[in-house]
Amino acid sequence: MAEDFLTPLSERGLRFLSTLPSAVSSLASLCRSALRFFSRIKPLRKKSRALKIQVAAPEAESEIATKPVPMSSPAALLRIAPAPKPQAPPLAPLGRRERAQLSRGRKEIDARIDLHGMTQTRAHRALFGFLQRAQGDGFTFVLVITGKGKVGAESERGVLRRQVPQWLSLPEFRSLVIGFEEAHIGHGGEGALYVRVRRSRI
């Protein structure tokens, strides 16, 4: 009786064992299919970050495009590159012919100023104003009398004789004067100067 029970059990076990290879093969095939399926799926977190980067990129470009470019103001450009100041024209001595004509009276002396008895400060102011008026009136030649002074004496007249030619060489006077020369003896000699007035530019 025990043999009858074992025989059918053994046959069923054999049949079950015979089906194991195909079941294992099917399971392996199912696992491979599942791996391929899941490998195609991307994580949701990485995808959301990528979307955020794509959305933020146009905003960054727009900020760069709309950012104003700093421009230098005209005042700053002027400070960097100031316009050069016009230089005073150089002096030109009177010609021998002009001096001879003045000494002989063939050319008229339009005006004259006598600086005798003036201090240096007063004489400088008076000479500058005199030449400005001469230029404004369209004069050509004027006579400036300084005085000869005395040898060995520190008189004011002797100082003016030395100072006036130096003043006429300054830029502020060169805009009013073309040149100057010592006057003829008949007009004061060493104590006077022929001065040629520069024409006004206005």
CA distance 23 to 95: 132
**What is the reported pLDDT for 79?**
61
pLDDT band at 5 (very low <50, low <70, confident <90, very high): very low
User: Strands 192-197 and 141-145: what pairing?
Assistant: antiparallel
Is a pLDDT exceeding 70 seen at residue 71? no
Is a pLDDT exceeding 70 seen at residue 119? yes
Give DSSP secondary structure letters for 101-138.
Answer: HHHTTSS---EEEE-TT--HHHHHHHHHHHHHHHHHTT
User: Which is nearest to 181 in space by CA: 87, 88, 109?
Assistant: 109
Percent of the chain residues past pLDDT 70, beyond the cut? 56
Q: Is the pTM of this model over 0.85?
A: no
Structure tokens, 138: 């369209």
